[in-house]
Chain A
Amino acid sequence: MKRSTSIMALVFILLVCLLSVKNGPMTINAIREGCAKEEGLAGIASTVRDAYLKSDVYKKNEFIDINGLYARMTGRGVVNHIARMTNGMLGAESVTAVDPTKQAVAVHALSQWLSAQEIPFLYVQMPYKCDLQNKMIPIGVTNASNKNADMLLQQIEALGISTLDLRPGLTDTPELVEQYFYVTDHHWNALGAFMGYQATAKKLQDFFPDQEIVSLEALQLDAWEVHTLENQFLGSEGRRVGKGYAGLDDLIWMTPQFETQMSCSVPKSRFWQSGSFSEALIRDMYLQDVADVDVGGKQGTHYNLNHYCVYIGGDYPLVQHRNPMAPVDKKLVILKDSFSLPYQAFLSTIFTEIDVLDPRYGMSLSVAEYIHLADPDLVIMAFNPGMITEKKAFSYGLETMEIRDEEILLAEVCLEIGARNHSYSFTTVEQPLEPGALYHISVGNIRMNLGESDGVCFALYDSATKKVLDSWFYDFACSDEKDWYFRTPETLSETANVIIYSGIPGACEGVGLTVEDLQIYIMQ
């Protein structure tokens, strides 16, 4: 009998030693950081404590899975504020009712401002992962998301704004929710997004009566191929409770069977991809087995890979879709949340230009400034009920709008960028920049001298910090889009300049070009 207890003690010692050794580097780093604070033992203690709370402790994901499994075995209906709904899907434990009056007023102000510029506006109510009758909600769980959305829609409609509610048809019953949403994630799946896209495109027919939208091939489900990657996706809710509690979802994504040629740029990340729909919009890293993916030098796991981002790659302040082959030659600006990732991808097969802004993330231009400069044919605001409590989603910079459309030419240059053996080769535009100023760069023409490229990247770059502050892509396929507007930060350093890459960053090797009639204006 003593032997059993002795073995227990040995296992305990081994466990403690293992945890100690494996977490040792993190502990030592935290102690060093704490010492650097010069706050004595209190500073060290708080730094170490924070390190254990916030960092990746050894086998953190496995422990989360164990915790989830234990919760499941002990019949817990709520774990870490995530509830098991009546149909087995996961959902938020508590969503309180809010008064959306301020939000409605903000949306109305935006629509009035757009109306003054003769830009139509449509509010699209994205769905929520809960049936409209709330049958999915178990006893003890409160979820007012649909009620909040109802109230906002009611108020917006009363103010005369055009709306489209995507919830009917997608979330009428728990069975539909199961069909169109992920079990472990709060988002819809590609099928659900496709239904939303179809409904939106049909609604947009009203805004563009001269365009043939409803009968487009791109709107037909059988023109698309549905792909499934089984048991790979642990969604946002699942990551909170662990695989042991949540299980895994099948990732669903859709690609068109018809021919496509488009581009997608993410200025914040200096990222640009062109080609077919799949090449431009699908991120291959999410289509592999998680263990085969490298995520910032670490092995991929279900916890550091968000498969929902298979379209576009994630949420960014600005994403620009260009599709010269699209049947509807109109420009849309979409104010979005994360539900739009597959949705905007589908819409990009129909419209030639879509600029997608996520107001939760800062850009150098305010939403109002961007829309003013982009001059779209339509602005869509597409929010899920969860965005109602997101203050930034309803702040557009209307009050501080400063653009007066007068611009002063600062320089007009012709630049030749030679071919180099460097994938990120660039040339600096020697034009001093002022902090907090709005600039306009207009490109006359770009002539390829050597090599090939689908576009050229312009960026605001700080050579001291080696950070790209903003960027823009000149897309050869969209030859009429030659203007870039950006605002410099208030704390702009003297080492920040506009640079021009000899092509697409990461693919500049052997590419040489000439930028003709580059004009730099400051807006006042």
Chain B
Amino acid sequence: MLFTSLEFLCMFLPVTLAGYFLLDSKFRNYWLLACSLFFYAWGEPSFVIFMVASIVFNYVMAILISLVRKKDSLKWLCKLFLFVTVAGNLSVLFVYKYMNFVTATLLSMFPNLQGHIPQTSFLLPIGISFFTFQAMSYVIDVYRGVPVQKNPFYIGLYVSFFPQLIAGPIVRYTTVEEQIKHREITFDSFSQGVKRFVIGFNKKMLLANVMGEVADKVWAQSEFSVLTAWIGIICYTLQIFYDFSGYSDMAIGLGKIFGFDFLENFDYPYCSRSVTEFWRRWHISLGTWFRDYVYFPLGGSRVESKVRLIFNLFVVWLLTGIWHGANWTFILWGVLYGVLITVEKLLNLPKRIETNLQTKILGHICTMLAVMLGWVLFRSDNIGIAGSYIATMFGWNGRPLIDEFGLFHLKDYSIIILAGVVCGTPAFKLLGKKVEAIPVLGDIMLTAGNLFQLLLMLVSISALVMNAHNPFIYFNF
């Protein structure tokens, strides 16, 4: 089920809210768990069994680890349990998500292996990458000393909670541990949650989906001009940001409605002046996950040799690319980021960029260029298409500078593109902070802003009613 669907707005959300606030507080977690499993089953009922199995597996492993971790003589067993947990989770992820890719790659290299390597026809469970990493992080945290949760339903709720189940943010158990046991909901916090949800809803429907229309059209063309190529990638850059951050806003908003505070997942990433900074602002929960569970255990930056540092970064970014999808484009995308971040680290670029205004501007332009070129890889079905697209962007393959298609879409979508660019900056946030402090005017501006978001929500619902093209990009992860 999508948040941006009529059945969610008209059926699931009101029923879930009604049940939640009518029930006694001791039943609310169970109600949320039931609703979350129903939410997941709505897409494909058989996947619920898979997720419940994942919950049970990780719950049991955490219990086992907690039983042996304090005993020095059983440290080896503790490590074994951890190994089984990680191997088990990653194996399942591998089978469902990566096995066919690996098989196809091996067969392309060694055709005589045909018939000897298994291939599957499993459907990819929605959100498998997210909830697998989330469940794994819980067990790893227990290994590291976090108290184990003995109530399986609480673990079930943590893993399957519908706001962040399908597309994150990846929530750490320690973030929500106390909130699961006890949380207080005031109308103010409820309202803040509603506001956040509405903003995310509007971002998705009115910016992401519209930009997606253009990007899809451009990528569907076999030949196009330099202008069209840039329009296409700018639109995709905006689409993926508003799609994903919009979903995160809705997830955070819904969490807050039910009394949970999730951490932020995006912090105006397109304002970054370095790739390093970009990844501190983009999909923060994934970046911190890899930092805490891969990079730091490998030694992080505090290693003696630069070779080791480069290795650590390479591993993290290779895995980041692989996490995003079973395609060489994602792997190359991740590796390229690894290269860029490594270069920045070795040359201490993030600090040097902050020297003066010119370097800041240059840093921002270069970062955005790198990010957009990365999105070309991310969007393309294969490296060849990506290469051809990039060549067109820079006029390297003899395509014309402009064409009618590009001019038309530039004219038709200019206002939305401009809105997308402006809303991607903290301009409104900063303006809001400045105005907030002014008596009366601050109230008026806040009220006007809230009213504007509500009006936009009506427009967003109208887009739903119009059967607007509405898929989430990160749904496939």
Residue of B nearest to A26 (CB): B10
Contact of A20 among B11, B197, B451, B466 (CB under 8 A): B11
CA distance A27 to B10 in the complex (A): 9
Please state if A140 and B195 are interface contacts (CB–CB under 8 Å). Answer: no
Please state if B45 and A77 are interface contacts (CB–CB under 8 Å). Answer: no
Residue of B nearest to A78 (CB): B412
- A67-B10 contact given A4-B450, A140-B409, CB 8 Å threshold: no
Residue of B nearest to A24 (CB): B10
In the complex, which of the residues A27, A48, A60 has the most CB atoms of chain B within 10 Å of its own CB atom?
A48
Please state if A16 and B459 are interface contacts (CB–CB under 8 Å). Answer: no
Contacts of A74 in B (CB 8 A): 415-416, 419
Within 8 A of B (CB), among A8-24: 8-9, 11-13, 15-17, 19-20, 23-24
Contacts of B188 in A (CB 8 A): 2, 5-6
Contact of B461 among A27, A48, A63 (CB under 8 A): A63
Within 8 A of B (CB), among A36-50: 40-42, 45, 48-49
CA distance A222 to B156 in the complex (A): 80
Contacts of A20 in B (CB 8 A): 9-11, 14
| Interface membership of B44, Cβ < 8 A | yes
Closest Cβ–Cβ distance, residue A83 to chain B (whole Å): 9
Please state if A139 and B13 are interface contacts (CB–CB under 8 Å). Answer: no
Within 8 A of A (CB), among B14-56: 14, 17, 41-45
Within 8 A of B (CB), among A459-490: none
| Binary per-residue interface labels of chain A (49-67) against chain B in the complex, 1 for a CB within 8 Å, 0 otherwise | 1001100010010011011
Residue of B nearest to A70 (CB): B459
Contacts of B187 in A (CB 8 A): 6, 9
Please state if A48 and B191 are interface contacts (CB–CB under 8 Å). Answer: no
| Interface membership of B149, Cβ < 8 A | no
Please state if B461 and A23 are interface contacts (CB–CB under 8 Å). Answer: no
CA distance A60 to B462 in the complex (A): 8
| Interface membership of A138, Cβ < 8 A | yes
In the complex, which of the residues A11, A17, A23, A139 has the most CB atoms of chain B within 10 Å of its own CB atom?
A139
- The interface size of chain A toward B, counting residues with CB under 8 Å, comes to 44
Within 8 A of B (CB), among A135-150: 138-141
CA distance A60 to B466 in the complex (A): 9
Please state if B411 and A42 are interface contacts (CB–CB under 8 Å). Answer: no
Please state if B42 and A41 are interface contacts (CB–CB under 8 Å). Answer: yes
Please state if B465 and A5 are interface contacts (CB–CB under 8 Å). Answer: no
Residue of B nearest to A23 (CB): B10
CA distance A5 to B411 in the complex (A): 36
Residue of B nearest to A62 (CB): B462
Interface size range of chain B in the complex: 35 or more
In the complex, which of the residues B17, B191, B407, B415 has the most CB atoms of chain A within 10 Å of its own CB atom?
B191
Within 8 A of A (CB), among B438-466: 442-443, 446-447, 450-451, 453-454, 457-459, 461-463, 465-466
| Interface membership of B7, Cβ < 8 A | yes
Please state if B195 and A8 are interface contacts (CB–CB under 8 Å). Answer: yes
Residue of A nearest to B413 (CB): A76
Contacts of B405 in A (CB 8 A): 140
| Interface membership of A160, Cβ < 8 A | no
- A4-B412 contact given A12-B198, A23-B10, A52-B7, CB 8 Å threshold: no
Please state if B412 and A41 are interface contacts (CB–CB under 8 Å). Answer: no
| Interface membership of B120, Cβ < 8 A | no
Contact of A48 among B7, B408, B415, B457 (CB under 8 A): B7
Closest Cβ–Cβ distance, residue B118 to chain A (whole Å): 27
Closest Cβ–Cβ distance, residue B108 to chain A (whole Å): 35
| Interface membership of B404, Cβ < 8 A | yes
Contacts of B407 in A (CB 8 A): 139-140
Contact of A4 among B194, B198, B446, B458 (CB under 8 A): B446
- A67-B465 contact given A17-B14, A57-B6, A139-B408, CB 8 Å threshold: yes
Q: Is the interface of B mostly helix, strand, loop or mixed?
A: helix
Please state if B465 and A64 are interface contacts (CB–CB under 8 Å). Answer: yes
Q: Is the interface of A mostly helix, strand, loop or mixed?
A: helix
Closest Cβ–Cβ distance, residue A361 to chain B (whole Å): 26
Please state if B14 and A16 are interface contacts (CB–CB under 8 Å). Answer: yes
CA distance A52 to B464 in the complex (A): 10
Please state if B45 and A41 are interface contacts (CB–CB under 8 Å). Answer: yes
| Interface membership of B175, Cβ < 8 A | no
Closest Cβ–Cβ distance, residue A350 to chain B (whole Å): 44
Contact of B462 among A7, A11, A48, A64 (CB under 8 A): A64
| Interface membership of A209, Cβ < 8 A | no
Contacts of B454 in A (CB 8 A): 8, 11-12
| Interface membership of A158, Cβ < 8 A | no
Closest Cβ–Cβ distance, residue A19 to chain B (whole Å): 5
Contact of B457 among A12, A23, A53, A77 (CB under 8 A): A12
Please state if A52 and B5 are interface contacts (CB–CB under 8 Å). Answer: yes
Please state if A19 and B9 are interface contacts (CB–CB under 8 Å). Answer: yes
| Binary per-residue interface labels of chain A (26-40) against chain B in the complex, 1 for a CB within 8 Å, 0 otherwise | 010000000000001
- A67-B42 contact given A16-B14, A27-B10, CB 8 Å threshold: no
Contacts of A75 in B (CB 8 A): 411-412, 414-415
CA distance A21 to B413 in the complex (A): 36
| Interface membership of B467, Cβ < 8 A | yes
Closest Cβ–Cβ distance, residue A62 to chain B (whole Å): 8
- A19-B462 contact given A6-B191, A75-B412, CB 8 Å threshold: no
- A1-B467 contact given A6-B187, A41-B41, A77-B411, CB 8 Å threshold: no
- A67-B45 contact given A6-B187, A52-B7, CB 8 Å threshold: no
| Interface membership of B277, Cβ < 8 A | no
Within 8 A of A (CB), among B417-450: 419, 436, 442-443, 446-447, 450
Please state if B42 and A45 are interface contacts (CB–CB under 8 Å). Answer: yes
Contacts of B1 in A (CB 8 A): 45
Residue of B nearest to A19 (CB): B10
- A140-B404 contact given A41-B45, A63-B462, A75-B415, CB 8 Å threshold: yes
Contacts of B463 in A (CB 8 A): 67
Please state if A53 and B10 are interface contacts (CB–CB under 8 Å). Answer: no
| Interface membership of A80, Cβ < 8 A | yes
CA distance A5 to B13 in the complex (A): 20
Contacts of B45 in A (CB 8 A): 40-42
| Binary per-residue interface labels of chain A (378-396) against chain B in the complex, 1 for a CB within 8 Å, 0 otherwise | 0000000000000000000
Contacts of B327 in A (CB 8 A): none
Closest Cβ–Cβ distance, residue A197 to chain B (whole Å): 37
Contact of B408 among A9, A24, A141 (CB under 8 A): A141
Within 8 A of B (CB), among A419-435: none
Contacts of A141 in B (CB 8 A): 408
- A8-B462 contact given A16-B14, A23-B10, A139-B408, CB 8 Å threshold: no
Residue of B nearest to A4 (CB): B447
Please state if B462 and A42 are interface contacts (CB–CB under 8 Å). Answer: no
| Interface membership of B103, Cβ < 8 A | no
Residue of A nearest to B447 (CB): A4
Residue of A nearest to B198 (CB): A12
Residue of A nearest to B409 (CB): A140
| Interface membership of B476, Cβ < 8 A | no
Residue of A nearest to B459 (CB): A70
CA distance A27 to B6 in the complex (A): 10
CA distance A78 to B217 in the complex (A): 13
Please state if B10 and A5 are interface contacts (CB–CB under 8 Å). Answer: no
In the complex, which of the residues A11, A17, A52, A78 has the most CB atoms of chain B within 10 Å of its own CB atom?
A52
Please state if B194 and A8 are interface contacts (CB–CB under 8 Å). Answer: yes
Contacts of B453 in A (CB 8 A): 8
Sorted from nearest, which 8 A-B pairs have the closest CB atoms? A140-B408, A9-B191, A67-B462, A63-B462, A9-B194, A63-B465, A8-B450, A52-B6
A-B pairs with beta carbons under 8 Å apart, 27 shown = A1-B446, A2-B188, A2-B191, A5-B188, A8-B451, A8-B453, A8-B454, A9-B194, A12-B454, A16-B13, A20-B14, A27-B10, A41-B41, A41-B42, A45-B43, A48-B7, A49-B5, A52-B7, A52-B10, A66-B459, A67-B463, A75-B415, A76-B412, A77-B408, A140-B405, A140-B408, A140-B409
Given contacts A8-B453, A16-B17, 12 further A-B contacts (CB under 8 A): A6-B188, A7-B447, A8-B195, A8-B450, A19-B6, A20-B9, A41-B45, A52-B6, A64-B462, A66-B462, A70-B462, A139-B411
